[in-house]
Structure 1
Amino acid sequence: MQQLSDKADRLLLRALQDNARLTSGELAQMANLSQSPTWRRVKQLEDAGTIKGYHAALDRRALGYSVLAFVLIGIDHQNETSSQAFVQAVSEIPEVVQFHAISGQADFLVGLVARDLDHYSELLQRKLHRLPGVRQVQSHFSLQEFKGQMADLPVPLD
């Protein structure tokens, strides 16, 4: 991981995180730099992997996904083969927008979106319960988002 060289890098990252559509001229003005050094700094941050990409934040509700669920999943065995099969299968479900291996009683945390509770029930019965090695599934539904909104994550587009 690259160390940020100074306050200007942090300022540029903060500005781009808030609005990735800023021009290099606008960024330069915000950072009190000229345009060329600003562009070089941003390019260095991209090349180092500090800036991983640029995207449009989509509103899941506007796209018909009113349900946001966090699903704790325990699997039977935590060996490389079974874990890889599980990870591959979960990664292929379009409605999965977050996926983490976690510590604690469950092995994985899956964040997914669904059009409604009927759609979620279908995902649960036809996909999640049928994943390789699933031992336990526990669902939690988001009632309200305050910070770290799901707009930052991809939404499946049919």
Structure 2
Amino acid sequence: MRVETDEIDRQLLTALQDNARLTSAELAQMTGLSQSPCWRRVKRLEEAGVIKGYQARLDRRALGYGVNAFVMVGIDHQDAVSSRAFEEAVRAIPEVVLFHGISGPADFMLLVVARDLDAYSELLQKRLHRLPGVKQLQTFFSLQEFKGFGGLPIPE
């Protein structure tokens, strides 16, 4: 369900999405509100589920992950039990950083990070190929990132 926002809410969301470490005093100064009303607005946006949490964005290369791979997965069948087993097994793999059910010839798309091609090959053979119900895997390696996930556009 979409939450209605006004211009000040949008300023707060933009500012927090760019830098979640801003204090309520800094946010208040940016929006022209006093600190208490500003804090109440942020709290309302959190309670409404617009702000789901706060986290640091880490640089995968600085952490030693040189490989970024998109893995398309086809599974044998999707009943409730087998789908749940597959989903739980994928969630348990730390190198899978995004996991989506998709339309098209594949059933799921994973974004996987690995130190290098050898590490990816090992992950593929020992974990991904052994996921419950996997029929087919197809890997697409990212050669160059032009735009990463930097945040959502704030609707007017």
Q: Give the TM-score range, shorter chain.
A: over 0.9
**Offset of residue 148 of structure 1:** 2.7
Once residues 100 and 120 of structure 1 are traced to their aligned partners in structure 2, the CA distance between those partners, rounded to angstroms, is 19
Partner residue, 1:5? 5
The TM-score with structure 2 as length reference comes to 0.93
**Contact map agreement 2:3 2:50 (CA 8 A) in 1:** no
Partner residue, 1:65? 65
Partner residue, 2:82? 82
Once residues 68 and 4 of structure 1 are traced to their aligned partners in structure 2, the CA distance between those partners, rounded to angstroms, is 36
Partner residue, 2:123? 123
Question: Partner letter of residue 115 of structure 1?
Answer: R
Question: Partner letter of residue 59 of structure 1?
Answer: D
Write out aligned runs for 1:118-157 (5 A).
Answer: 118-149=118-149
Give the CA RMSD over aligned residues: 1.3
**Offset of residue 134 of structure 1:** 0.4
Partner residue, 2:154? none
Once residues 2 and 129 of structure 1 are traced to their aligned partners in structure 2, the CA distance between those partners, rounded to angstroms, is 39
CA offset digits 1:50-79 (Å, max 9, x no partner): 101111111111111110001000000011
Where do 5+ consecutive residues of structure 1 fail to align?
153-158
**Contact map agreement 2:3 2:48 (CA 8 A) in 1:** no
**Offset of residue 106 of structure 1:** 0.2
Where do 5+ consecutive residues of structure 2 fail to align?
152-156
Write out aligned runs for 1:1-80 (5 A).
Answer: 1-80=1-80
Matched, 1:110 2:91: no
The TM-score with structure 1 as length reference comes to 0.91
Aligned residue pairs: how many? Answer: 151
